[in-house]
Structure 1
């Protein structure tokens, strides 16, 4: 059984039938399951775990399939959304629970929303950080992304081809992660008018547009060591597998086209995050797409990594929302 990071709050590592490893803070209240995004790990919730546990919840932060201490299947198709939904169900069952509140950030927000959509019997409420819910349907994703950026290539399209992004990232995982985190953080992101780090010039790399020389305020050398150490050990293919299944997800979820997530929900986004500005129409549609929404917050002067950039405010919003949920 792998060990926890020595300097972290006391956690317990648990294996589930899905091959997942999770870190659990034991409380006596309802289970809250925390799901990270790209390129992160359970560690992205280090500020939330002790606070939610102290508030009385039984809380678990998982390594999503393909990341950290969880299983990393070789087949690209093993990272489709419906598999990740069933992973989350298996985690709940492995912890001896019937239901859970699911909170996700970045890709984790989409995983949380779709988990609530597909398995409302298990996930009784969903919290979404950074990425708003947009119902399944519409044009095929690969076609949408191919039209973005004009002569430049959108990063999601860049991530599609197995091995391509890995060749950029894996020779210097630590440096690439530092640049990626900085590019999407409020205090280090490129100035308005600078080349957009979400796009590549023809024949270029993402890294060419990352800020250099300064870490964002929320990310110290020690925190970067934790993230880099995991991806140096695992490689990037498992994490990138999520991007490489977007067309499969579009097909798999066709029966849910346009469907709302009706459970109680929460949204927290960063005011400077492209996820909230580009998807402003999705946020405006929440009365239809998230009819159970009980709280929505845009944090001023905050970038993409909301629970790490603004941990105290995020913790306050999460605990207030959780306390408002029906027993």
Structure 2
């Protein structure tokens, strides 16, 4: 942990904690749920060694970044503005922004809302899909029959917090394992993304407490320590703004991302597979797409599960978008 430089950057949230390594063109890394800047620990040194200024941030509500109390402070517009503020606060005018999970959506919307700041955008696990269609709560509420989709389960403030916070470390271990190749439940098991009536999300986590191969006890300690200190409300508030985002971003209905782009998903990741139609639409929605990859047998946490393989993809893409005529 001591090898990285930590700093706090002023932002509309108050301050954003970032960790950086290296010098050169700025690459801003944005994590998802339930993670932190530490999710990019394998990418920071690889990017620095390749001649980039690698910066991983704690999204507002996480880690050492500010945690506004109001739920609406976690709307997508605010998170995109945080990213732009970090770029400015680092003394830069532009950056490549790469995000995983919710971070993929944040990266995509930073590119759309701050096009002069983002020169290229990379998205991991969750493919870009333009705003449109029915209100998100209507879509999620229609899934699962008698069972409740996890996004709907997260909506009521305090409900998921009450499940997670009494045993943060155990819950995180189960959640990470449930979405990782090698430890996720078999295909014929009850779907871990749904909650049975009267149940909890953790009811369907893998039994036995076995950690996925990418996650050491020490790594889990880092994640658990942060959430034990901060609680989960800030992280969960992102889910509680999906309808608000749908209203806020009406002018982006059907919008394509013109900047050079990258997508990487895993064939064993439900987030990628559910949105296969979004991937098929990339020629329209990502006209600047430079490369798209599906990692065979990889789960959700791909930059940690397949760090070496992903780093090569990332560095090859960065080299391509830095070439004349592509940036």
Q: TM-score range by the shorter chain?
A: over 0.9
> 1:133 & 1:316 partners in 2: Cα distance?
22
- Mapping of residues 124-143 of structure 1, within 5 Å: 124-143=119-138
Could you say which residue in structure 2 is the equivalent of 1:206?
Answer: 201
What root-mean-square deviation, in Å, do the aligned CA atoms of Structure 1 and Structure 2 show? 0.9
1:310 aligned to which of 301, 306, 309: 306
- Mapping of residues 230-309 of structure 1, within 5 Å: 230-309=226-305
1:67 aligned to which of 62, 67, 70: 62
Question: What SS is found at the alignment partner of 2:263?
Answer: strand
1:165 aligns with 2:160: yes
Could you say which residue in structure 1 is the equivalent of 2:90?
Answer: 95
Cα distance, 1:13 vs structure 2: 2.3
1:11 aligned to which of 1, 5, 8: 5
Could you say which residue in structure 1 is the equivalent of 2:149?
Answer: 154
TM-score, scaled to structure 1:
0.96
Could you say which residue in structure 1 is the equivalent of 2:318?
Answer: 322
Cα distance, 1:30 vs structure 2: 1.1
> 1:102 & 1:17 partners in 2: Cα distance?
17
Cα distance, 1:14 vs structure 2: 3.5
> 1:26 & 1:278 partners in 2: Cα distance?
36
Cα distance, 1:152 vs structure 2: 0.5
Cα distance, 1:59 vs structure 2: 1.1
> 1:17 & 1:185 partners in 2: Cα distance?
33
Structure 2, unmatched stretches of 5+, are none
Cα distance, 1:119 vs structure 2: 1.1
Could you say which residue in structure 1 is the equivalent of 2:139?
Answer: 144
Cα distance, 1:311 vs structure 2: 0.1
Contact map agreement 2:22 2:49 (CA 8 A) in 1:
no
> 1:104 & 1:326 partners in 2: Cα distance?
19
Question: What SS is found at the alignment partner of 1:12?
Answer: strand
Contact map agreement 1:188 1:211 (CA 8 A) in 2:
yes
Measured against aligned partners, the alpha-carbon deviations of 1:107-132 in whole angstroms (never above 9, x if no partner) come to 00010011111111110100000000
The aligned length equals 320
Measured against aligned partners, the alpha-carbon deviations of 1:79-123 in whole angstroms (never above 9, x if no partner) come to 000000100010000000000000000000010011111111110
Contact map agreement 1:12 1:25 (CA 8 A) in 2:
no
> 2:71 & 2:222 partners in 1: Cα distance?
26
1:182 aligns with 2:177: yes
Could you say which residue in structure 1 is the equivalent of 2:43?
Answer: 48
Question: What SS is found at the alignment partner of 1:150?
Answer: coil
> 2:122 & 2:173 partners in 1: Cα distance?
27
> 1:300 & 1:174 partners in 2: Cα distance?
29
Cα distance, 1:15 vs structure 2: 2.6
> 1:219 & 1:241 partners in 2: Cα distance?
26
